[in-house]
Structure 1
Amino acid sequence: MRHIKFIFRTLLVLSIFTFSCSSDDGNGNDIPGKDADKTALEASIETADDLIENTNEGTSEGDYQVGSKAELEVTLNLAKTVYENPSATQSQVDNTVTQLDDAIEVYKSKIIKPINPEALVAHWMFDEGQGDIINDETGNHHGQMKQGAVENGAGKVEWVADRHGEANKALKFADGANVEVPFSTSLNPQNITISMWLKADEIFDGNYMISLNRWNGYKFNLQSTNKLMFTARASHEGENPIYDRDNDSPELLVDEWYHAAVTFGDGNMIFYLNGTMVKEWNDTPGIIDNVEEQYNFIIGQSLPTSVIDAEEEEWGPFNYFKGSMDDIRIYNEILSGTQINSIYEMEK
């Protein structure tokens, strides 16, 4: 949406610059037909042409985000129209330079910077295809399938086809079925990025994908309108606010795979769908607080089955996920939009 608005504004402004008549400002160069100084515009066009010709789109370090060239080319082509127009006034030329330089800076910001390998806390690929042990690619946080809590239906995790249609490469959850990962302080980072693939089977309030003691730590779930929701208990200036935010729009469709990501830190909570930012909240200061009750990390249910069945927690309902998940990643730092897009492009 932001890209569409940017292109629309560029088209509007440059069309006005190219085709409107300006009054004389006293220097004579704003009179159509008078020669305007196009030196700066020529230099900007050369810079943009060089970027288009000598950079690559892709998903690797040093590549540029897929689709970013097309955005730059829109502004570049309009700038060339102004450059080739003998009737262009100095104001039109100067404003075109500004527009093109802005587009160049936007393009440069789309370069994919390396993700610090030390920032990857866990990556559950769900590629085992059988058994009940779920390996973490970092080697630190292996999990085990668990039957759901009795009050949730005591469901069992199933191996199913992933988003590519490959059999037994994703996990299906229902009736509290979950993967339990032993608690570790590394799963309780101060800043966080969560990246995953999901497919909801139905719209369900409290559709928990992952949870570290729910709102007492953090959780990532779908809510009653099938929007992404992230909740975190923060530490900020001696207080412990609980931030509950959703992606605002769009609502996810059932029975469709999505790449979903959220980042939290530096006062912001940002949601991404299929590699594109869909919502940014900038009213969430602080860091994720250390959980007081160190329950195990859960994929597919709000709390460990043993905790729910033993009635150790009175605050229900004890929600769970209804659908399939794959390729869950957790980072202990805030990834950029281009980095998240590169994960999406690589995994889709």
Structure 2
Amino acid sequence: MEKLKKQSMLVLIALLGISMFFVSSCNKDDDDDTVNKTALMAKITEANDLYTNAVEGTAAGQYAYGSKAELKSVIDIAQGVYDNEASTQTEVDNSVVSLTNAMDLFETKVIAAIAPDDLVGQWTFDEGTGTTVKDYSGNGFDGTFGNEAGFGTGQPTWTTDRYGNEGKAIAFDEGAKITIPYNTAINPTQITIALWVNAAHVRANNRFMGLQSWNGYKFQLQSANKVFFTASTDSSIYDRDTDPALDTLKWYHIAVTYGGNEMAFYVNGVQTKLWDDVKGDLVKVTGHDLVFGVGSSKFAATTDNYDADHIIPLEWGGYFDGSLDEIRIYKTVLTPTQIASIYNLEKVQN
């Protein structure tokens, strides 16, 4: 939707420029009338006040980066119409409409506050030592290091984060996992998950988070190294992914939202895909914990009893080969500007 909003702004600018050309060249009758520019001047003043007082940033109440420049482009075009003595009444009226639309679009770029109660869990991985990770949401969902033996002997290890700080991220491989004991709060009916990921290799079933895998929800990179999310709902099980394919050995901020019959993906703060062919609320899981590094907290040795117990067989499972950092889970669907604000807050600043 952010891309669509940007395209809408560009269309507004283009239409305003086109109207200036065609109306001035084709509608000569207006030239004989007195042109009233009062409404346009009032709208330009209003737009300039909005532009001047707006602050771009990542905090609630601020505007998404780049949005002021888009508004200023439309203001400048409108100012040109006002200053041009040859402007017709039609051009002036069109400028008022275009500037009004641009201001309305600009207001959609304001960052809405994220209610603190909507944050379910936040694991920053800043401890740098030990075998536990703290949940900084205040909900107490701390995690414990471990291993899923069926995938190998891997254990979570402290590693370098995207800033180059040692011991501020965690690497996973061969069944290394972090377990968060089950709580209904980490199993909401709608969800937003945001985190930093760095894949060591491209591989199938590169699963870095799961709550009973596809019987609850799971987050992963698929065989083409694209971001992939599975949501089990009261209507169906939905597997969806998004371009682009991610490079290995490179940090990316990724996010997914599910709710309101939509699933949206984000890469580095930008919405990359919106799926509107999904339905229902996320189902409730019982008897399984949330895990990072693998897709499920329980695995079966064979497929024999799956239809009865729905425990994921090892041969259908998967583990993550790479590093993770700054995991957040919300119990609501965050907006594109809210996702962008998280990315801008956590990214490496130039």
What is the TM-score of this pair, normalised by structure 1?
A: 0.90
* Contact preservation (8 Å) 1:75, 1:103: yes
Q: Which residue of 1 aligns with 2:329?
A: 330
| Cα displacement (A) at 1:92 | 2.3
* Contact preservation (8 Å) 2:236, 2:279: no
Structure 2 CA distance for partners of 1:308 and 1:24, relative to 1, 3 Å: same
Structure 2 CA distance for partners of 1:313 and 1:234, relative to 1, 3 Å: closer
Listed as ranges, the gaps of 5+ residues in structure 2 are 304-310
Q: Which residue of 2 aligns with 1:39?
A: 38
Q: Does 1:244 align with 2:231?
A: no
Q: Which residue of 1 aligns with 2:170?
A: 171
Structure 2 CA distance for partners of 1:78 and 1:321, relative to 1, 3 Å: same
In structure 1, how many angstroms separate the alpha carbons of the residues matched to 2:256 and 2:300? 27
Q: Give 2:273's match in structure 1, choosing from 279, 291, 313.
A: 279
Q: Does 1:19 align with 2:28?
A: no
* Contact preservation (8 Å) 1:211, 1:297: yes
Q: Does 1:9 align with 2:11?
A: yes
Q: Which residue of 1 aligns with 2:308?
A: none
In structure 2, how many angstroms separate the alpha carbons of the residues matched to 1:178 and 1:187? 17
Bigger shift: residues 253-262 or 79-88: 79-88
Structure 2 CA distance for partners of 1:96 and 1:177, relative to 1, 3 Å: same
| Cα displacement (A) at 1:225 | 1.8
In structure 2, how many angstroms separate the alpha carbons of the residues matched to 1:183 and 1:219? 15
In structure 2, how many angstroms separate the alpha carbons of the residues matched to 1:94 and 1:225? 51
Q: Does 1:296 align with 2:289?
A: yes
In structure 2, how many angstroms separate the alpha carbons of the residues matched to 1:44 and 1:205? 55
In structure 2, give the amino acid aligned to 1:256.
K
Bigger shift: residues 118-127 or 280-289: 280-289
| Cα displacement (A) at 1:4 | 4.8
Bigger shift: residues 262-271 or 86-95: 86-95
Q: Does 1:141 align with 2:141?
A: yes
| Cα displacement (A) at 1:6 | 3.0
Q: Which residue of 2 aligns with 1:67?
A: 66
Bigger shift: residues 314-323 or 160-169: 314-323
Structure 2 CA distance for partners of 1:132 and 1:6, relative to 1, 3 Å: same
3-state SS of paired residue (2:233): strand
In structure 2, how many angstroms separate the alpha carbons of the residues matched to 1:309 and 1:145? 22
* Corresponding pairs, count: 336
* Contact preservation (8 Å) 1:41, 1:97: yes
- 1:160-192 deviation per Cα after TM superposition (whole angstroms, max 9, x unaligned): 111111110000111121111111111110010
Q: Does 1:307 align with 2:309?
A: no
| Cα displacement (A) at 1:198 | 0.8
Q: Does 1:195 align with 2:202?
A: no
In structure 2, how many angstroms separate the alpha carbons of the residues matched to 1:100 and 1:18? 14
Structure 2 CA distance for partners of 1:282 and 1:294, relative to 1, 3 Å: same
| Cα displacement (A) at 1:328 | 0.4
Q: Which residue of 2 aligns with 1:90?
A: 89
* Contact preservation (8 Å) 1:41, 1:93: yes
Listed as ranges, the gaps of 5+ residues in structure 1 are none
- 1:235-294 deviation per Cα after TM superposition (whole angstroms, max 9, x unaligned): 2xxxx31111112x2221211111111111111111111111111112222111112x43
| Cα displacement (A) at 1:310 | 8.8
- 1:304-326 deviation per Cα after TM superposition (whole angstroms, max 9, x unaligned): 2x635698543732111111110
Structure 2 CA distance for partners of 1:343 and 1:134, relative to 1, 3 Å: same
Q: Which residue of 1 aligns with 2:250?
A: 256
Identity of aligned residues (%): 39
In structure 2, how many angstroms separate the alpha carbons of the residues matched to 1:90 and 1:203? 60
| Cα displacement (A) at 1:94 | 2.2
In structure 1, give the amino acid aligned to 2:90.
S
| Cα displacement (A) at 1:5 | 2.5
* Contact preservation (8 Å) 2:210, 2:291: yes
- 1:29-85 deviation per Cα after TM superposition (whole angstroms, max 9, x unaligned): 2x4x75433222222211211112112111222211122111111211122122222
3-state SS of paired residue (2:329): strand
For the aligned residues, what is the CA RMSD?
2.0
